[in-house]
Structure 1
Amino acid sequence: MISRNQSHYIIMSAIYIELADFNFAKNELSRPSEEVIADLLPEGEEITPFIRDSVNLSLFHYGEIVEALSPYLINWKWERIPLLSQAILLMSYAHFYYVEKGKVDKKVIINTGVELAKKYVEEKQGKFINAILEKVIQ
């Protein structure tokens, strides 16, 4: 069974891969999300609804999420934010507003994003992610 922490890592990674591989010319993903997720799972594990929903809703609502985050990106443009930081922001926003629909305390969502940032992005980016999530998740 996949732990919640493992699930968050898989979600972040799948979103990152989809962002990196996105075909802008055709406005489409290069591979279905299910394939990307399956490649990230430990052998013998199945895709959980939480993982599938988190990845799919992050990508489906991409435009809305970027629009919601943009006012808080002081002196930054979304396109200039490193893809892994984008993935953490997308995942956190989607988790709160679309997956859990406000049923999970915002502090838990923010903490999850910050913990991923501490492990996988530069310290400066981690602080940036924390500041953005504190403002946008209400």
Structure 2
Amino acid sequence: MACSVSDTPSLKDLPKVATDLKSQLEGFNTSCLRDVDTNEKIVLPSAEDVATEKTQKSLFDGIEKFDSSQLKHTETQEKNPLPDKDAIEAEKEKNKFLNGIENFDPTKLKHTETCEKNPLPTKDVIEQEKSA
């Protein structure tokens, strides 16, 4: 949208500045101002930051614009060596052993009586040994 000459306000339409304010502004003495050091809050990136960002951008551009038609076709060879006969037999033995433990049936056990063949000494025998 372009501004034409007719869109700009005329001098009489502009706001008027009070004469006392105008005279104060014109007669303002800048030597009354204090010296102040300005601290910039916005820190610009260092040269290293800019270089790092350029490197990353070039990497991303390379990935996005990569031409996959330049790749060569390859055949994948799957290598899955099967275990030898000895390893299979050892695993079968282990599985039979574990299966025997897991499926143990205690009801097939015979009942037995425990006979103590090494009886402990009586109090009398202990007293005799102490006194001897």
TM-score normalized with structure 2 length? 0.16
TM-score normalized with structure 1 length? 0.16
Q: Flag the structure with larger Rg.
A: 2
Q: Relative CO higher for 1 or 2, CA cutoff 8 Å, sep ≥ 6?
A: 1
